[in-house]
A = this chain, B = another copy of it.
């Protein structure tokens, strides 16, 4: 009971846990690399101070550098020659399916990192992105070798997916960026990319970027003196609130997609093509008339209370919701969320040429703003938490998270980041969108995918996540109903068995040690058995 429940929970959680562990290890590898490099450069500076190069003999500098490089070369050539090279070409071959265990060994991790540190400290003009990608993959492989993750390891496509995520983590560990890193890893390691894995790769890279951000940028020497540190810092409460907003948006997204899908199914049943084109057309027009009649009071309400912002489409209203000034927790804002949700539901399900992104974005903005204003009110009046983010920033995050959970596209985070141009919102956006995406994915498909289903378009379905949790026990045929042989079965018993069972039900016949202990020792093809009998 309890053990089974735990096992089911673990089956569901093992991939996220594994990816978090991989992200942590990649971040640690990146940190260790930078720290060791700095230590070695300090060591070199004590031997040959670079601000006294004129006085110091150039030969001393040359000797130190030369010995560093040769140490790196010896280490590589004697201990693990496979560690030589950048790592990207190697990972490209690994991800194309030909996994060479020697390429992902623990020894390689040690040699690759220390060789790189020596090479950088020697003043060679070299980078760390390839080695970090390679090391991240090797670390992921190591973690997967643990018994807890054996189900992932034996599942070859899943194992490759985890390695892809590890590549993204490696790139994120060398650049400290999340969105670009994921794509960079896709571009340099894949030829044909399974898009469903993108969210996981994004998540892994975002965890790495988050860890780096928590450590502070002065710890990590990226390529830039990162502007992130000049942006707004955040309190742990902010992190919790982003996550909570993500969870809520995920739940709202789930409810919304289910509602759209339900109304669309009802609409399609009413206007099914068996009725003939004329009746179908009439009923479609009637649905438009009915839904519009229901929407008009809602849009009238919206127009009266938000008249200043609603007249020129939805843009001005979004601007209002994203305005830096304080709006306060108002009756209108709280009412706006359910009313708008109903209006969207009745608008986008009409058989008209309409999209759903912009209104959902607006709904998310209102929801996030409400959330932000409530958090600010709680903060001010009760002093429950320490907040650095403003309500309008929660509005931006909410808009991205809700659109992300409904369209099931994590790139919503990039779109909103690009459009807002606010660098300090990068991580919150990524985090909230990923959480909303994950929560919503547990329950339903995305809005576009579920519309593919309800419109019965010619498209191959994907298996629901529940399919991966089916236990063998629930679909197996009990051994008692199956033909089997034991090691002591006689020829006559075997030929009787062959006569009793048709070839279709038992092409392969299991062989057990004895009839009492039922230890499986092998199997025999029916064809071979027939020849033998």
Contacts and interface: CB of A to CB of B under 8 A. Distances in A.
A179 B418 contact: yes
A411 to B, nearest CB: 4
Contacts of A448: 86, 88-89, 92, 188
Contacts of A120: 313
Interface string A414-442: 11111111110010000000000000000
Contacts of A184: 407, 409, 411-412, 414-415
A63 to B, nearest CB: 9
Given A119-B353, A180-B418, 5 more contacts: A37-B313, A89-B448, A89-B449, A179-B418, A192-B194
A410 B340 CA distance: 39
B84 A419 contact: no
Given A65-B299, A125-B299, A318-B223, A93 B311 contact: no
A458 B100 CA distance: 11
B70 A356 contact: no
A466 interface: no
A354 interface: yes
Nearest to A132: B355
A288 B69 contact: yes
A351 B84 contact: yes
A181 to B, nearest CB: 7
Most buried by B among A134, A292, A351, A352: A352
25 contacts: A41-B311, A69-B292, A73-B351, A84-B351, A89-B448, A115-B354, A123-B295, A123-B303, A125-B340, A125-B344, A125-B347, A126-B354, A128-B357, A131-B353, A177-B418, A180-B412, A180-B413, A180-B416, A183-B409, A184-B412, A186-B195, A222-B315, A223-B361, A225-B315, A227-B420
Most buried by B among A129, A228, A355: A355
A175 B415 contact: yes
Given A92-B457, A303-B53, A455-B89, A352 B72 contact: yes
Copies in the complex: 2
A303 B359 CA distance: 57
Contact of A70 (B77, B190, B285): B285
B187 A62 contact: no
A242 interface: no
Top-6 shortest CB links A-B: A180-B415, A130-B355, A127-B358, A183-B411, A421-B423, A126-B354
Interface in A124-169: 124-132, 134
A391 B128 CA distance: 27
B195 A87 contact: no
Nearest to A114: B353
A112 interface: yes
Interface in A332-379: 340, 343-344, 347-348, 350-362
B281 A78 contact: yes
Contacts of A248: none
Given A312-B221, A448-B86, A125 B343 contact: yes
A198 B192 contact: no
Interface string A276-308: 000001001100110011011001101110010
A50 interface: yes
A125 B361 contact: no
Contacts of A281: 77-78, 81
A285 B69 CA distance: 10
Contact of A86 (B129, B223, B355, B420): B355
A310 interface: yes
Interface string A82-115: 0111111110110010100000000000011101
Contacts of A289: 66, 69-70, 73
Contacts of A43: none
A176 B221 contact: no
A138 to B, nearest CB: 12
B126 A352 contact: yes
A196 B191 contact: yes
A190 B409 CA distance: 11
A419 B196 contact: no
A195 B194 contact: no
Contact of A195 (B122, B180, B187): B187
Contact of A191 (B194, B226, B310): B194
Contact of A62 (B88, B174, B178, B296): B296
